[in-house]
Structure 1
């Protein structure tokens, strides 16, 4: 069965997160908060994309960092999924951990309580065959992942990346920008996001997608036409963690199946909506049949 599946190589972070959900963010003053919703679960953008893509029928190889600590076993339980092969290096800093504070609008404050190592010792050449055999290569912006980029170029592999809350000038992101053919990012911290999108197409990118939190997403492809897709509002907001990764994965699912760009955006919107309607990083209900059924229900009336 696996031989018939499209293959992905995804590299990026995985973390074990503590999540606090409040009606509103608290004021920056000393205080005691007596009531909140609290849970612990897997997080991070590498894991979010790897899990979502594997649920959507891709045979996914996920490269990441684990710590030699108690959190690793917890993370491994979440990653023990069909179609998902996990390759990892032990990070001397330990498993990455975040404290995420969410409000009822889906906004987030993320605190890295234990960040991963910037440059762990990795023999990158051993993953060459995995990348070469992949139909799609997704390089997330964990610092160690930038060292996969020269290999992707050498193998003539197109790179998909997600710049997240890129501000338009942070030099940290430049290697990923230069090496990528397909770019996703958020409008949260960038002024004039459309100018950045136009610039990227002018330097040769295949397409650029900008997500707007709870306000939909915009794409600018090589045809140089603006396409906006609103969010699906019929899904109650429970937890916004991972919504961008699910949007990315729904888009790539449709793209890999030859859908036109407008349809890809709609499949991304469905996957993102399923995510925010779940308390987990990736919806327990996500699969390609659910995507196709929801597409017919919401867009083929």
Structure 2
């Protein structure tokens, strides 16, 4: 069984469903529903990887509060080893407005204290890891040179990077496999091409309902369609996509097939109300991946 070390945020979120995201003006909104649930990009990736048959160590920062206890309970999953000593203070919490069209507005309510140096358990996980995912966080940034020195394939999801922010740039320039959203990029192709030219193996840009565009150092340009499903909640879609891509890569699948699996994993996440679809499995991803259309761009 392959092993992956994931380092980054886990949170406890309040999700509020609204018809549309608000304009920048005073107003009153009526919610059609609300609930509390697990959040955090690293939590989503780790849960999905474990459900896809990957042995995962997740290191994150949690406070010594009720939210931290809830996060721990939600991350109790076979194949997932959680490394998170309680820190004095609050765990990460967000208020997310979730619009019916898939839009999201996230408000940080609390941030946990930054943990100290990576403990021995994280160093041991790195020593046996087949890949490492470092998500955007201060305690992930500290591991960038450590992972690079260890020679373990490094995966980084820089979310809505605009290509100019210095914090995201550190992750993007260190990654062997880079995933980014098209939300704030003026030149998607230029961004992907630049990072493959500087050494990335794969660079992938997710485009929501328009699927994803990818450039492989040896495979060239590819597109993959989104897999049509009945959307329930877009929260965690990018994390499901990245986890599906990584799980496929660990099985030795080439970029086109890995993109199909990524699109399927993202679709299963969207079709669920949870951060990671409880019913996601390798078999479910393989079956749904047949509906993904992959095209090579010459």
TM, length-normalised to structure 1: 0.93
SS in 1 for 2:58: strand
CA contact (8 A) 2:10 2:39 kept: yes
| 1:238 to 2:232 alignment | yes
How many Å separate the matches in 2 of 1:198 and 1:298?
A: 24
Larger mean CA deviation between 236-245 and 31-40 belongs to 31-40
1:260 alignment partner, one of 254, 257, 264: 254
Residues 246/94 of structure 1: CA separation in 2 closer, same or farther (3 Å cut): same
Larger mean CA deviation between 32-41 and 200-209 belongs to 32-41
| 1:163 to 2:158 alignment | yes
| 1:138 to 2:110 alignment | no
Aligned to 1:293: 287
Aligned to 1:195: 190
2:72 alignment partner, one of 76, 79, 98: 76
| 1:277 to 2:277 alignment | no
How many Å separate the matches in 2 of 1:21 and 1:87?
A: 32
Alignment of 1:90-169 (within 5 A): 90-117=86-113, 119-124=114-119, 127-169=122-164
Deviation at 1:223, TM superposition (A): 2.7
Deviation at 1:121, TM superposition (A): 2.3
SS in 2 for 1:210: strand
SS in 1 for 2:208: coil
How many Å separate the matches in 2 of 1:179 and 1:154?
A: 11
Aligned to 1:215: 210
Aligned residues: 294
SS in 1 for 2:9: coil
How many Å separate the matches in 1 of 2:173 and 2:185?
A: 18
Larger mean CA deviation between 169-178 and 261-270 belongs to 169-178
CA contact (8 A) 1:89 1:122 kept: no
Deviation at 1:267, TM superposition (A): 0.7
SS in 1 for 2:233: coil
Aligned to 1:229: 224
Deviation at 1:299, TM superposition (A): 6.8
| RMSD (Å) for aligned C-alpha atoms | 1.8
Unaligned 5+ runs, structure 1: none
CA contact (8 A) 1:48 1:281 kept: yes
How many Å separate the matches in 2 of 1:16 and 1:253?
A: 25
How many Å separate the matches in 2 of 1:299 and 1:28?
A: 38
Unaligned 5+ runs, structure 2: none
CA contact (8 A) 1:128 1:151 kept: no
CA contact (8 A) 1:106 1:214 kept: no
CA contact (8 A) 1:158 1:181 kept: yes
Residues 166/299 of structure 1: CA separation in 2 closer, same or farther (3 Å cut): closer
| 1:251 to 2:251 alignment | no
